[in-house]
Structure 1
Amino acid sequence: MKISARNQIAGTVLSFDHGAVNGTVKIDIGGGNVITSSITEEAIADLGLTTGDKVTVLIKASDVLIGK
């Protein structure tokens, strides 16, 4: 499968916070860094995600915000 997202980061699923429609998935990308993604519960089930799974985080955004 080819995709247009250029920001691809390998990681490991750390944990889930399940909700009624959406859940959050925490991904350890190494170096003490964690990415949290909000995706649908249906997507979590369809992907069969479980703690410890090796995954790829794909980031495609028109805006990147930085705060200090």
Structure 2
Amino acid sequence: MKISARNTIKGTVKKIIPGVVNTEVTLEIAPGVEVTSVITKSSAEKLHLSLNKEAYIVIKATDVMVAVD
């Protein structure tokens, strides 16, 4: 896989919640650390996602903000 995005994180699929249009996918990127994304149902099907399969989080954003209380 080659991709121009610089922020890619390898993880393991831990949860898949399919909906009518979108699918919620949760990847564990470290023990106890999870990232959840909502992608189209069609994309989830094309990726052949399944539990415990390795996948990548790809973050492509022009801004990343940090906040505290």
Q: 1:1-68 maps to which residues of 2 (within 5 A)? A: 1-68=1-68
**Distance in structure 1 (CA, Å) of the matches to 2:24 and 2:39:** 6
> In structure 2, how many angstroms separate the alpha carbons of the residues matched to 1:31 and 1:65?
24
Q: TM-score, normalised by structure 1?
A: 0.88
Which SS does the other structure have where 1:45 is aligned?
Answer: helix
Q: CA RMSD in A?
A: 1.3
Shift of 1:6: 0.4
Q: Report the TM-score when normalising by structure 2.
A: 0.87
Q: Which runs of 5+ in 1 are unaligned?
A: none
Q: In structure 1, what residue type is equivalent to 2:18?
A: H
Q: Gapped runs of 5+ residues in structure 2?
A: none
**3-state SS of 2:44 partner:** helix
CA offsets 1:14-60 (integer angstroms, 9 cap, x no match): 01111111111000000421000110000110010000101111111
Structure 1 distance, partners of 2:36, 2:66, is 16
Partners of 2:58 and 2:4 in 1: CA distance: 10
